[in-house]
């Protein structure tokens, strides 16, 4: 049996390759390889594709801009004063790839953010036209949170969730094939000819339950993964691709630090590699002490993000009491004393929450400007199935919250008032460091 796996392009106002890879999708590829299938893989978001060879690129720790083209905005965005774009490799590159592979028995398509589904739709329509008799299977984040909407795209099989054991059963029953589940699955990085960085996840789920986060819906239980397996797989990939940058995808990376992450870091660094670690997902300040700070510096962390969300204590419950402002201050001082500087440390502030006023965000920014850190605005996206989404449905019954395009954090969907875009521009300008 032969299968084609596709990571679609992205339609949005802005997108940047901040250590962005479809990690879960690579586990699925490994599953089918272990079942003896021939697999073929195409990633529209692969910036190491030969298409980019003639494009001048500026990279920071492997991150950089995607190729993009201007697109017509969907009507729901008609009042958004920004350019709508398609990010990723041109369709022609996929056409060339398609002509180089044999006919396949199944097509698997993954999906990212709910409001990126236009890219998924593009790939589905192309495959329907060019592979008319080949079943199409769709999964990923968009399906996990917008299953009803995904049903309108006309694929042959939808899978919601991350339990690959369940996937094997459902897929086998639906298509009358035998697909065996394997406990020891790994992300199959071999689908890429070249990598600029590695993405690493060492646990599933999160011990916290924030009002705005969808992790509990798809990974309800926090579970640290086997340390030796993580280390062995990571070292193998680092050697294969000769890279030094690793971005962690964990939602609670520092949880049980001494028994988990510290052990992993010691084993990885025991190989005397000049590794650089990055944490695009926010770290919890309450887990940062003097020893942790020193070890993060010693082991080569270059990009740290702290999840503060707000300087105001009344927001604490919404973030599952994962940090206080005092804990943030303490963590920041410890990191600075350990040798990190302002360029290394970014602090996330949430913007556009239900019933949140711009003045609250502006005040948070003013306070944070007195600290040696970068301010990172995180625009709120209403994720179906979360506490804040259900709350928003009651507060804003007039808003089309169930439309995936309206869930786009770039449009700050819950802020509907005159002068919105002027205020947003002002807030963003205030968050920039003083020159």
pLDDT of 50 > 60? The answer is yes
Question: How many other β-carbons are positioned within 10 Å of the β-carbon of residue 125?
Answer: 12
pLDDT reported for residue 282:
94
Summary mean pLDDT of the chain: 95
pLDDT of 54 reads: 86
pLDDT of 57 over the 80 cut: no
Confidence of residue 100 (pLDDT cuts 50, 70, 90): very high
Torsion angle of the four alpha carbons 165, 171, 173, 179, in this order, in degrees rounded to the nearest 10? -60
pLDDT in tens, 409-433: 999 999 999 999 999 999 999 999 7
CB 77 within 8 A of CB 405: yes
Give per-residue pLDDT as tens, 217-227: 999 999 999 99
Q: What is the pLDDT of residues 377-404, one digit of tens each?
A: 999 999 999 999 999 999 999 999 999 9
Top CATH class, 2-175: alpha beta
User: What pLDDT does residue 271 have?
Assistant: 63
Q: What is the pLDDT of residue 320?
A: 77
Output helix, strand, coil percentages for the chain, rounded to the nearest 5.
40, 15, 45
SS3 state of residue 270: coil
Model pLDDT, residue 272: 64
Determine what percent of the chain is predicted with pLDDT higher than 70: 99
Same fold, 2-175 and 197-431: no
CATH superfamily entry for domain 197-431: Aldolase class I (3.20.20.70)
Question: pLDDT-based confidence at 434, cuts 50/70/90?
Answer: low
Residue 328 clears pLDDT 90, i.e. is over it: yes
pLDDT of the residue at 435: 55
Q: What is the mean pLDDT of residues 331-359?
A: 97
Mind listing the pLDDT tens digit for each residue in 167-199? 999 999 999 999 999 999 999 999 999 999 999
Least confident of 51-60, 78-87, 256-265: 51-60
Count CB neighbours of 133 within 10 A.
Answer: 6
Span 147-164, average pLDDT: 97
pLDDT at 126: 97
Q: Strand runs (DSSP E) across 139-248, as ranges?
A: 157-158, 198-200, 203-204, 223-224, 245-248
Place of tokens 């040798």: 339
Domain boundaries defined on the chain: 2-175, 197-431
pLDDT at position 191? 98
| Overall pTM surpassing 0.85 (yes/no) | yes
For the cut 70, the answer to whether the pLDDT of residue 294 exceeds it is: yes
What is the structure's pLDDT at 53? 92
Q: How far is CA 323 from CA 241, 302, 341, 342, in A?
A: 37, 22, 21, 20
User: Does residue 358 surpass a pLDDT of 80?
Assistant: yes
């Amino acid at each position: 049996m032969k299968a084609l796996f596709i990571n679609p392009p992205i339609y949005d106002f802005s997108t940047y390759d901040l250590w962005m890879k479809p990690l879960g999708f690579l586990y699925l590829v490994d599953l089918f390889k272990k079942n003896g299938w021939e697999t073929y893989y195409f990633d529209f978001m692969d910036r190491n594709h030969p298409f980019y060879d003639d494009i001048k690129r500026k990279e920071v720790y492997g991150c950089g801009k995607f190729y993009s083209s201007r697109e017509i905005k969907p009507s729901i965005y008609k009042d958004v004063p920004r350019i709508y774009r398609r990010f990723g490799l041109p369709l022609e590159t996929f056409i060339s790839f398609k002509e180089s592979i044999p006919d396949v028995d199944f097509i698997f398509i993954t999906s990212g953010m709910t409001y990126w589904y236009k890219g998924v739709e593009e790939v589905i329509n192309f495959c329907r036209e060019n592979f008319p008799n080949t079943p199409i299977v769709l999964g990923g984040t968009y399906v996990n949170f917008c299953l009803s909407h995904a049903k309108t795209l006309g694929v042959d099989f939808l899978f919601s969730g991350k339990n690959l054991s369940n996937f094997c059963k459902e897929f086998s029953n639906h298509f009358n094939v035998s697909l065996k589940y394997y406990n020891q699955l790994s992300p199959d990085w071999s689908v890429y000819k070249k990598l600029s960085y590695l993405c690493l996840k060492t646990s599933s789920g999160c011990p916290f339950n924030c009002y705005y986060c969808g992790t509990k819906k798809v990974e309800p239980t926090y579970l640290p993964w086997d340390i030796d397996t993580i280390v062995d797989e990571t070292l193998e990939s680092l050697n294969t691709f000769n890279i030094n940058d690793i971005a962690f995808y964990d939602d609670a990376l520092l949880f049980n630090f001494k028994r988990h992450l510290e052990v992993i870091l010691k084993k990885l660094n025991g190989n005397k590699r000049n590794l650089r670690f990055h944490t695009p997902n926010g770290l919890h300040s309450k887990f940062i002490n003097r020893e942790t700070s020193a070890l993060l510096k010693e082991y080569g962390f270059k990009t740290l993000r702290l999840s503060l969300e707000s300087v105001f204590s009344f927001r604490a419950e919404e973030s599952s009491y994962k940090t206080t402002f005092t804990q943030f201050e303490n963590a920041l001082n410890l990191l600075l004393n350990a040798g990190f500087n302002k360029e290394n440390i970014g602090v996330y502030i949430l913007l556009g929450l239900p019933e949140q006023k711009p003045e609250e965000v502006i005040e948070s920014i003013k306070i944070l400007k007195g600290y040696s850190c970068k301010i990172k605005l995180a625009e709120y996206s209403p994720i179906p199935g979360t506490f804040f989404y259900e709350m928003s449905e009651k507060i804003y019954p007039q808003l089309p919250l169930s439309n995936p395009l309206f869930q786009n954090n770039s449009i700050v969907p819950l802020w509907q008032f005159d002068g919105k875009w002027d205020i947003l521009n002002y807030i963003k300008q205030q968050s920039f460091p003083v020159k």
